[in-house]
Structure 1
């Protein structure tokens, strides 16, 4: 077929060049059996060949034949070249498809690996949740407590959270895994618990001798309620009565919401009747309520604020002289609990420390109207070695452990005699992470916040004795 096409093309070329239809073609085998083609073209000008050597026409014919051979060679080469290229492309395509199949296998293997890692991660998360919800077994009250590892919660109280509260969990101020925030236990000498003989249950202002079982009133449902402070005003003022309960969730970097409940039943049900937005953020769990005002420490400062509930505004502010703040002298559980405000039968107090006191607890009695410091006392117990503290009848009491299930009141300091001594009054941390304890002098109860739980304790005081 190729030869025929070649011959046709050559014939057309010769005929076109001559412009006449006088060409003849002969094909036959030579002696060696090879095919030969012979073309005969009549000369338009000569009747016969004048010489043996030929003339210009013969030379022109040779040139045309040479051109024809070149064209045939090119056509033959053009036929085989694309075939080789096609074969090369086919081989490359086959290799590419093989590589694609290998890559797909590798992708499937990596997908299975990712799924396995995700499954293990989910199992680890569930195990962490189980460990977080499981009480830690404490060998004794002297055992080292672990750092904070916050857990999640449901969204039942999500409508009570301040705007943007969820993002505050990334705040490094609430990560207490570092050793500096681990509990350092006070070295105390245990003494026998006094007997109840001669104890006055509801009158007098003697020394603390017994603390009742914890009563749980409410469990917070979100991480914002891991730590907090709750209060009842012992000398409530209009427009709120003495049965009003107040709560502040203190997990976060911008704590400003104060929730009010008309009574303890409403607190237990979790439906606030009043929500106030404080003009300045709260630092930690040291707030207290007294005579119609909320007293608290402004965030990242030693400034004390009195927030008037009736006018819903700041009524007084004052720096607590030389007081450490924002992690200088906290309680052993951390939480930036450098300044702890308290109320008892004798009025408003601040529990803190200074550089001059070298970390020892300093007690200051404050003017509840102006926040002026009326008098101070320096104790001989370091603030970081105790888990918490409160005031009863002008006496300071410290808690040995915030996480041990069975702990005790380890130390007391009497502001009247300026004397301190060790104690061993049992106290139960039912939920094993007590971040706030305050005293209500009217109800004769301790109010506490223990690992999401709002709890209270009845207290018993000994017979009042003459104090110098």
Structure 2
């Protein structure tokens, strides 16, 4: 008991002695629990060192963790998975933008195709209405052959009944006993066609403008000796802009061409080079792309009927016309048959004319002229005579040269010609209509012509 009292007294003395140097705090910690803190001054150190001890290091660690948490919560570019996701956000936005762009492109393409479909449907409806109109149109009635009236008593000249006009041939008016039967035989005699020099060319007549860029250059043709299954009014067209030129469009007549309603579309077995194609006796004649090979494509069987290289002919830009377009070989048809206009290394760029066998494409005879092929814009052949055009862009140009294969002589001429649309890439003589067919800067045009001796009827 005395010992306990002694210890208590010592404690009170110590407390009074150190009251000015010790302190006691009480407060709640982070967990809400009561915490007592007892502070005593150091008898040996006047101040604490600046270097952090374990408590400072722990405090720094907690502050670092707190900064990381704040960065993650605020979406900052911190390390770890959250930071990686933040860095991936621009890539996701780019991918989303691309996907939206592609979707918009597809939507635009869909709308364009829908518009084309609607256009085709309208054309189909117009064609069906036209077909119904033609079907409902009555056929022209032929005047029936009226048998002769009975002979008058005593024979002699037959006379029509009173008040009626006789539609009988005068040779039937000779009286005879009984009825007569007329048997007529009709023999088709082709009218002779006169050939002469070209005197003049009329104003250009526009038939149609091409629908797209593929039709900036092209060739259109008509077979002067058409065979089944296509009639003589059939018009053919090839658009020649593009890397895969193989489509041949057929139209029943000029009206359907002007409306843009093809009745036949053929896919040629090999690609076409430029605007030098022609049509003759049921076949398309054209130059195969990037070669001197000529091809005869039979329209009835829709297959290649003949092919042959044109000997020594330049091709694919060696000897074109002045407008270019790989127009090295130009095929045409006139009253004397099938022709090829081209040049060779031996001719040094001068125009060579060759007459071809339309069945085998073999060269029958050739002529070498004195005019350079790249100095003229285009050429055509009428009645065995070659005519060249001075310019393909000038609004008012000239047909400036003529070479006659019959006499093997050439001479300059001056026949005015108009390039209405200022880029004439094809001119050919159409024997069926006795016109010039041309392709002038997207436009299909024709010209009336006059020769020194017209067709004899």
Q: What are structure 1's unaligned runs of at least 5 residues? A: 1-20, 39-62, 98-153, 160-201
Q: What are structure 2's unaligned runs of at least 5 residues? A: 1-7, 25-41, 78-114, 121-191
Deviation at 1:212, TM superposition (A): 0.4
Deviation at 1:441, TM superposition (A): 1.7
Q: Which residue of 1 aligns with 2:222?
A: 232
Q: 1:262 aligns with which of 245, 252, 257?
A: 252
Closer, same or farther: CA 458–80 of 1 in aligned 2, 3 Å? same
For residue 243 of structure 1, give the secondary structure of its aligned residue in structure 2.
Answer: coil
Q: Which one scores higher on RCO, CA 8 angstroms, separation ≥ 6?
A: 1
* Kept after mapping to 1: 8 A contact 2:354/2:367: yes
Q: Does 2:355 correspond to 1:369?
A: no
* Kept after mapping to 2: 8 A contact 1:29/1:36: no
Q: Does 2:292 correspond to 1:302?
A: yes
Deviation at 1:250, TM superposition (A): 0.8
For residue 286 of structure 1, give the secondary structure of its aligned residue in structure 2.
Answer: coil
CA displacement, residues 236-256 of structure 1 (integer Å, 9 cap, x when unaligned): 111111100000111111111
Q: Which residue of 2 aligns with 1:398?
A: 388
Closer, same or farther: CA 317–35 of 1 in aligned 2, 3 Å? same
Q: Which residue of 2 aligns with 1:343?
A: 333
Q: Which residue of 2 aligns with 1:131?
A: none
Deviation at 1:442, TM superposition (A): 2.8
For residue 266 of structure 1, give the secondary structure of its aligned residue in structure 2.
Answer: helix
CA displacement, residues 292-329 of structure 1 (integer Å, 9 cap, x when unaligned): 11000111110111111111111111110000001100
Structure 2 matches for 1:205-284, cutoff 5 A?
205-284=195-274
Closer, same or farther: CA 283–35 of 1 in aligned 2, 3 Å? same
Q: 1:292 aligns with which of 282, 290, 301?
A: 282
Closer, same or farther: CA 415–22 of 1 in aligned 2, 3 Å? farther
For residue 246 of structure 2, give the secondary structure of its aligned residue in structure 1.
Answer: strand
Distance 2:271 2:357 in 1: 22
Q: Does 2:313 correspond to 1:327?
A: no
Distance 1:263 1:437 in 2: 20
Closer, same or farther: CA 345–85 of 1 in aligned 2, 3 Å? same
Deviation at 1:80, TM superposition (A): 7.7
Closer, same or farther: CA 427–79 of 1 in aligned 2, 3 Å? same
Q: How many residue pairs align between the two structures?
A: 315
Closer, same or farther: CA 77–157 of 1 in aligned 2, 3 Å? closer
CA displacement, residues 412-440 of structure 1 (integer Å, 9 cap, x when unaligned): 11111111111111111111111111101
Distance 1:307 1:367 in 2: 14
Distance 1:157 1:377 in 2: 53
Q: 1:35 aligns with which of 17, 21, 28?
A: 21
Distance 2:423 2:370 in 1: 26
Q: Does 2:425 correspond to 1:408?
A: no
Q: Output the TM-score relative to the length of structure 2.
A: 0.62
Q: Which residue of 2 aligns with 1:8?
A: none
Q: Which residue of 2 aligns with 1:4?
A: none
For residue 420 of structure 2, give the secondary structure of its aligned residue in structure 1.
Answer: coil
